[in-house]
Amino acid sequence: MEIADWRAKIDGLDEQIVKLLCERAGAAAAIGQLKVKTGANIYEPDREQSVLQHVAGCNTGELPADQLLVIYERIMDVMRSLQRR
């Protein structure tokens, strides 16, 4: 495969990744509303740790574990900020 072919593949993957990130953001916002309603804290370190462990277990190996963590820490920062809106 040429670079152009790989890039077309990446574009297709990005379309799916963005769709899933948006769905995830919708779910995070829904949780945020439930937390406000019940007076729960937005920041729940135990749940965040459990998400990171789950995610690490889904790695099929192309991404070094520390690099997947770096991406997911950013995703969770963003999701937490959505819950605070």
Residues at the site binding its own copies, with contacts judged by CB under 8 A: 1-3, 6-7, 9-11, 13-31, 34-35, 40, 47, 51, 54-55, 58-64, 67-68, 70-71, 74-75, 78, 81-82
Q: Output the smallest distance, CB 29 to its own copies, in A.
A: 7
Q: Output the smallest distance, CB 43 to its own copies, in A.
A: 14
Q: Output the smallest distance, CB 49 to its own copies, in A.
A: 13
- Give me the helix-helix angle, 3-38 and 65-83, nearest 10°: 40
In 3D space, the residue among 30, 36, 40, 38 whose CA is nearest the CA of residue 79 turns out to be 30
Contact 32, 24 (CB under 8 A): no
